[in-house]
Structure 1
Amino acid sequence: MNFSKDDSMGIEKSYKVLGLEKDNNSIGGIMRLLHKVKKYGAAINGQVFKLTVFTSCEDEDRYRSKAADFSRAIFEYFRDEVPAFNIVSQKPFPDSLFAVEAGFVTGQNLQIHYKMHRDTPYILIENAMVKELWMSGAGEPDHFRDIEQDAICAFEQVVEILEKESMTMNHIIRQWNYVGEILKMNDADGRYLQNYQVFNEVRGHFYKQYRTRKDFPAATGIGVKIPGVTIDFCAIKSLVNRVASVPVNNPNQQNAYVYGQEVLVGSAPATNAVKQPPQFERGRLLKMQGYSTLFLSGTASIIGQETIGIDDVKKQTLVTIDNLERLSRSPEGFPNRETWSYNLLRVYVKKEDDFPVVQQICKRHFPEVPMVFVQADVCRDNLLVEIEGEMVAKN
């Protein structure tokens, strides 16, 4: 593979959020939506690399039917250039059948490879500086067993695909963890195990076994309606020494991986064991020549390790936004601060009735930023909103 010196720039991304109204509930409507996605990509001279599709979940059978329709449409429409995609059981706001968060990669002299693993598509993007792997939907949500086995299955697939591409878990810089019924408590012989805590135990095991670096990816752990676990991730392998990936901290928040046992819900997985905290960084900065990206983890109304603004969605939203802003002002080796801008925001709202308040605040603070709003349980029962995103800077 040959690259010129002019190719040694960061890989630029942009995003578009599109919706499908309920009266378009047909394969034809989905195909028209996908056509809009591709048409937008052509207008910006970009190629689709990732689709995250959100849909409501009246019941499990209805969700699986809608997900199957959308999946078939993606394969039929994109044919030999199927992007990474996941169909997530989170209701989009305002009320629509589907919302699509579409990611596009732009730039000259990129090598883009469309690949498959276990019938799941993934993308490799390469230039002279980096090799990027984007995969969505690792796991087997159609074969739900229990939360532990589903999490193990998802992480095993992550490891498999990384090994296939000569990468390791050390290369993961951004991860999305979709955990079915994330707050549910399960009785295991008198010990009460929360689904999210079980997921964290499995994540801790795999990171210990397959990850040798001391820091962690940026990540989101969020609830979905359908049982099971799926994982989306981005792994980046530097091909030159001019690429750096560093964790970014918020001085007002304790790092999640050092949370005390008292804020971790439920019993330990075994007698006399300690509970694994969530292992992720508040943010992660990818610095390249010409273009840098700040991945903002799922962020909520937490100061130190305590929830702020219990039962007050307005306060929680404002504290969450302040936490995001503090991450974007962090001093860890940022390039020229004046060039930073938001590229994408995803907003999770726990209660449907809170959506208008959250949307109004977010649109006031982030005008013109592509945003998708969905209904989801956050990782703590007293958290009403969570926001994640991506910032970019040309330098």
Structure 2
Amino acid sequence: MRPASDMRERATPAASPSPIVTYRAPFTGALPPGTLAAFGFGTSAPVVDDPRWLNVALEPLGDAPVELWTVEGEITCGREGDLRWSRGGGWLYAAVECEEAAFGGPEGAATHAYQLLSSFVAGAPECHVQRIWNYLGAINTGPGDDERYKQFCTGRINGMGEVFAKGFPAASAIGHHASKGLLQVYLMATDRPGTRVENPRQVSAWEYPRQYGRTPPSFARATFLPANDVLAISGTAAVVGHASAHAGDLAAQLAETRRNLDALLAHGGAPEGFNAHAPLKAYVRHREDAAAVKAFAEAHWPEAPLLIVHGDICREELLVEIDGWRYR
């Protein structure tokens, strides 16, 4: 499966406005009006009995805000087994939580999650997946092709249906430190295609050489959402070409990651840098590195809201990864 050859064709500009992604102080009670999805992080996050709420299995390092997606329009939501969903204003949120033990391991669980999501999205008006997140435990455990992340990649491609045939969405895949067998996958989709954007400094993930596993990762570096008003940015790390750079050197990896983000914004036609309306999320392998990551972000993107979480990057030598949103 390969993305469509023309990855730069823009959708009609009449698309609905994109969801507004913000970080809010933790709250109790009902979700705010217009909420498409909301996420708490770590074991201290509140438990909210609502299909739109997901407790993400990543512990915050520092402030622990709620991530909120809001849209214009009436919201409907529901649950179907392992899958939960909500829709409104031409946008769809869908998520799957499952335990690997029921499916024989990370490959089977990923196949299950992606089959559920693919089938659901294929039957929905909002059938164009724009962005997807994947969180699994012990992501770097296992030698060679048996590494859990590589098993996950094989399961992911096995579960992708025709929904993904025209191009992979922007994505992040991170290792959490909760129950090893817990897999969490969630996505944002809409009723019109977006524009996938690649980074000229990096080999497209689906073209990685064999050394990265039997099945290459299946994601775009970013997606311009259909209204052309925001760039949804995939997990970005110190990868140049297809190779990891600056193994073990946090400062150099942060600088390289910034160069990749700058290149991606420029190539996608987004404004430079990140402002107060451009929330970022940093995944940090070692808890003790959180302060340095925060200081780097404050020095280079002082206005951007930042959430730092404890998460393992999909390559063991990488120490930090950053994703986020760049609104025009």
TM-score bucket (shorter structure)? 0.7 to 0.9
Query: Letter of the aligned partner of 1:184 in structure 2?
Result: T
What is the CA–CA distance in structure 1 between the aligned matches of 2:233 and 2:267, rounded to whole Å?
12
Check the 8 A contact 1:182/1:379 in 2, yes or no.
yes
- SS of 2:303 mapped into structure 1: coil
Displacement, 1:300? 0.3
Unmatched segments (≥5 aa) in structure 2 = 1-13
Check the 8 A contact 2:25/2:65 in 1, yes or no.
yes
Displacement, 1:359? 0.8
Displacement, 1:158? 0.8
Check the 8 A contact 1:151/1:228 in 2, yes or no.
no
Q: Does 1:203 align with 2:167?
A: no
What is the CA–CA distance in structure 2 between the aligned matches of 1:340 and 1:346, rounded to whole Å?
12
Residue deviations 1:51-86 (CA, integer Å, cap 9, x gap): 222215xxxxxxxxx78xx43xx11xxxxxx35232
Listed as ranges, the matches of 1:47-196 within 5 Å are 47-55=34-42, 70-71=46-47, 74-75=48-49, 82=50, 84-94=52-62, 99-107=64-72, 110-118=73-81, 121-126=84-89, 131-136=90-95, 138-141=96-99, 145-166=104-125, 168=127, 171-185=128-142, 193-196=146-149
TM-score for the superposition, normalised by structure 1: 0.71
Q: Does 1:308 align with 2:257?
A: no
Residue deviations 1:272-307 (CA, integer Å, cap 9, x gap): xxx11001001111242xx61211000000111111
What is the CA–CA distance in structure 1 between the aligned matches of 2:15 and 2:182, rounded to whole Å?
40
Q: Which runs of 4+ in 1 moved over 6 A?
A: none
Residue deviations 1:191-222 (CA, integer Å, cap 9, x gap): 85111111111122233x43463421000011
What is the CA–CA distance in structure 2 between the aligned matches of 1:12 and 1:175, rounded to whole Å?
14
What is the CA–CA distance in structure 2 between the aligned matches of 1:13 and 1:325, rounded to whole Å?
22
- SS of 1:53 mapped into structure 2: strand
Query: Letter of the aligned partner of 2:54 in structure 1?
Result: N
Same amino acid, percent of matched pairs? 23
What is the CA–CA distance in structure 2 between the aligned matches of 1:157 and 1:135, rounded to whole Å?
10
Residue deviations 1:243-273 (CA, integer Å, cap 9, x gap): x5111111111111101112x15xxxxxxxx
Check the 8 A contact 1:308/1:316 in 2, yes or no.
yes
What is the CA–CA distance in structure 1 between the aligned matches of 2:242 and 2:273, rounded to whole Å?
31
Residues 166 and 340 of structure 1: is their aligned pair in 2 closer, same or farther, counting only changes over 3 Å?
same
Displacement, 1:339? 11
Q: Does 1:382 align with 2:317?
A: yes
Query: Letter of the aligned partner of 1:139 in structure 2?
Result: E
What is the CA–CA distance in structure 1 between the aligned matches of 2:316 and 2:215, rounded to whole Å?
18
Q: Does 1:16 align with 2:58?
A: no
Check the 8 A contact 1:175/1:231 in 2, yes or no.
yes
Q: Which residue of structure 2 lines up, in the alignment, with residue 231 of structure 1? A: 185
Q: Which residue of structure 2 lines up, in the alignment, with residue 213 of structure 1? A: 165
Check the 8 A contact 1:301/1:316 in 2, yes or no.
yes
Query: Letter of the aligned partner of 1:326 in structure 2?
Result: A
| Equivalent residue in structure 1 for 2:257, among 307, 320, 326 | 320
| Equivalent residue in structure 2 for 1:349, among 284, 287, 291 | 284
Check the 8 A contact 1:344/1:371 in 2, yes or no.
yes
Residue deviations 1:321-356 (CA, integer Å, cap 9, x gap): 22112111115xx47x48985521110000111111
Check the 8 A contact 2:38/2:69 in 1, yes or no.
no
Displacement, 1:143? 5.5
What is the CA–CA distance in structure 1 between the aligned matches of 2:57 and 2:274, rounded to whole Å?
32
Residue deviations 1:112-161 (CA, integer Å, cap 9, x gap): 222332275421012xxxx211123x031386542122212211221342
What is the CA–CA distance in structure 2 between the aligned matches of 1:14 and 1:224, rounded to whole Å?
22
Check the 8 A contact 2:206/2:217 in 1, yes or no.
yes
What is the CA–CA distance in structure 1 between the aligned matches of 2:153 and 2:84, rounded to whole Å?
26
- SS of 2:194 mapped into structure 1: strand
What is the CA–CA distance in structure 1 between the aligned matches of 2:106 and 2:164, rounded to whole Å?
26
Check the 8 A contact 1:299/1:323 in 2, yes or no.
yes
Q: Which has the larger radius of gyration?
A: 1
Check the 8 A contact 1:139/1:157 in 2, yes or no.
no
What is the CA–CA distance in structure 2 between the aligned matches of 1:223 and 1:236, rounded to whole Å?
27
TM-score for the superposition, normalised by structure 2: 0.85
Deviates more, 1:364-373 or 1:309-318: 364-373
Check the 8 A contact 1:139/1:153 in 2, yes or no.
no
Query: Letter of the aligned partner of 1:210 in structure 2?
Result: E
